[in-house]
Amino acid sequence: MTQIAITERAQDELSKLDLGESGFLRINVVPGGCSGMTYTAAVDTDFGSEDVSVFEAGALRIVTDAGSAIFLEGLNIDFSDDLIRSGFRFTNPNASGSCGCGASFAG
């Protein structure tokens, strides 16, 4: 099973999403960005046969597809509200490189 870590601060921010009874956060890895791959995130309610749950804490559940799961192993999600680059930060220890702004990575 793929394991990711989410800081308490990021969990607090994610808990503000309106996930409803059956909702979850879907994180996938898709081609894009200057390094080749990037993350997408969206609220979803459709858990498919190829989906795997990678994080659960209370009402917060994070799901991905099987193809993305191999790129998410060991992923750390943090949240920053600094002035220059606020928002969620994804740190992937398995990435072989990333672009200068950190929006994409190489696997």
The pLDDT profile of the chain, 107 residues, written as one tens digit per residue, is 668 999 999 999 888 888 888 899 999 988 876 667 888 889 999 999 999 999 998 889 999 999 999 888 889 999 988 887 788 888 887 766 555 555 555 65
- Are 65 and 2 in contact by the 8 Å Cβ rule? The answer is no
Domains and CATH numbers, the chain: 5-106 (2.60.300.12)
d(C-alpha 74, C-alpha 102), whole Å: 17
Helix or strand holding residue 37 (H, E): strand 37-44
Beta bridge partners of 79: 88
pLDDT, position 10: 92
Task: Give the closest residue to 79 by CA, choosing from 19, 5, 8, 15.
Answer: 8
pLDDT, position 103: 55
Tokens 């099973």 belong to 1
